[in-house]
Structure 1
Amino acid sequence: QGDTSLPAPGPWTIDPAHSTVGAVAQHLGISSVRGRFTDFAGVVEIAPDRLEKSRVEAVIRAASIDTGNRMRDDHLRSGDFLDVEAYPEVVYRSTGLTPAGSDRWTVHGELSMHGQTRSVDLDVAYLGTGPDAWGGTRAAFRATAQLRRDDFAMNYNQAVAAGIAAIGTTLKVELDIQAVQGDTLPA
């Protein structure tokens, strides 16, 4: 268990090898399909004077979607969904921070995906800071958000029976993030 006082001011670089960017969609109204993006980078900048001025920026390679099913992944990369050839990156940039408890924050930001930009709030829990095996310091965060596919012009659906859509209209985003203190990752 690490130290849960807030991370030191300055840049913290997201470590993709020890982080997960995932999403959960409802399938047929009864089960969930989980996916994750495997190629992403980002930085958390902790403001020295007022924590509310801290910022987060992340870039995800849309083609790195992985649900464990190649046919489904190819469909998600197609023009029906992410359209990765036209829109290769998913970008999140924070616009502000609001405290939501001693170790919880709401990060307000803009998510650009599939040619659309929308305001998206992340509910963030700060899990603490501790030393790592490479002589550095790491901070851990968990974050969730709800997205509506329609907000990002991903309207594809398929009715499989009266009133039952194949894919739910909302997507739950789940982030487990480790960030290394400093503006680079250990070699």
Structure 2
Amino acid sequence: MKKHLIALGLMAAASVPTIANAADYVIDTKGAHASINLKVSHLGYSFIKARFNKFDGSFSYDPQDLAASKVTVNVDTSSFDSNHAERDKHVRSGDFLDVSKYGTATFTSTKVEPKADGEMTIYGDLTLHGQTKPLEIDAKFVGAGEDPWGGYRAGFTGSTRIELKDFGIQVMGTSSYADLELHVEGIRQ
């Protein structure tokens, strides 16, 4: 009888749905706890570092089921900032980003592939300069926990390379790509 009760208990436990630990987060751009930075070769002689100052987004994150995670980011391309006003004006012009026509770039994940030690590859679609192309981001979980204001946060870093010509953006010299460095901290909703 004892064996039957144990067996029934195990069957009952197995039939109870698993409680999901997924949570939705808003990327903390208001507190400046997130950044989209880039590095572009300048004619093959040096590098220019820049960032986008205005963006927003959200993500869903479940440490128990990383593959179910999702990311969406919207970037105001007119917020391109390389700390040089004349260059920024040129990059925003029709010669490059053409922000009057393509004022927003978006990234929407399609799949998250877990790897070892908190690392993952985030696959998705990047729409930039009016063109949508697949993009892979190598990402890493940094940490999560309660903040001093009664909220809960999770943070990640990521990097990827964008081939500018794939998005119809003019290339000068050997400046065919932009390397992106991403820092994302989200506030759980």
* TM range, smaller chain: 0.7 to 0.9
Shift of 1:147: 0.6
Partner Cα separation in structure 2 for residue 57 and residue 65 of structure 1 = 19
1:44 counterpart residue number = 59
Per-residue CA deviation, residues 100-124 of structure 1 (Å, 9 max, x unaligned), is 2120000000000001100000000
Shift of 1:80: 1.1
Q: Which amino acid aligns with 2:134?
A: S
1:15 correspondence with 2:28 = yes
Partner Cα separation in structure 2 for residue 26 and residue 138 of structure 1 = 34
Q: Which runs of 5+ in 1 are unaligned?
A: 1-7, 158-164, 183-187
Partner Cα separation in structure 1 for residue 62 and residue 125 of structure 2 = 19
Shift of 1:78: 0.6
Shift of 1:51: 2.4
1:100 counterpart residue number = 115
Partner Cα separation in structure 1 for residue 88 and residue 106 of structure 2 = 20
Partner Cα separation in structure 2 for residue 51 and residue 143 of structure 1 = 15
For the pair shown, which has the larger CA radius of gyration, 1 or 2? 2
* 3-state SS of paired residue (1:110): strand
Per-residue CA deviation, residues 15-74 of structure 1 (Å, 9 max, x unaligned), is 112111111001131321001001100001125873212110000101001000001101
Q: Which runs of 5+ in 2 are unaligned?
A: 1-20
* 3-state SS of paired residue (2:160): strand
Q: What is the root-mean-square deviation in Å for CA atoms of aligned residues?
A: 1.5
Do the aligned partners of 2:66 and 2:113 also contact (CA within 8 Å) in 1?
no
Task: Decide which structure has greater strand share.
Answer: 1
* 3-state SS of paired residue (1:86): coil
| 1:31-70 aligned within 5 A | 31-47=46-62, 50-70=65-85
Partner Cα separation in structure 2 for residue 30 and residue 22 of structure 1 = 20
Q: Percent identity?
A: 32
| 1:79-158 aligned within 5 A | 79-157=94-172
Partner Cα separation in structure 2 for residue 49 and residue 174 of structure 1 = 26
Do the aligned partners of 1:80 and 1:156 also contact (CA within 8 Å) in 2?
no
TM-score, normalising length: structure 1: 0.85
TM-score, normalising length: structure 2: 0.84
Task: Decide which structure has greater helix share.
Answer: 2
Q: Which amino acid aligns with 1:155?
A: Q
Provide runs of 4+ in structure 1 moved above 3 Å: 47-50
| More RCO (CA 8 Å, sep 6+) | 1
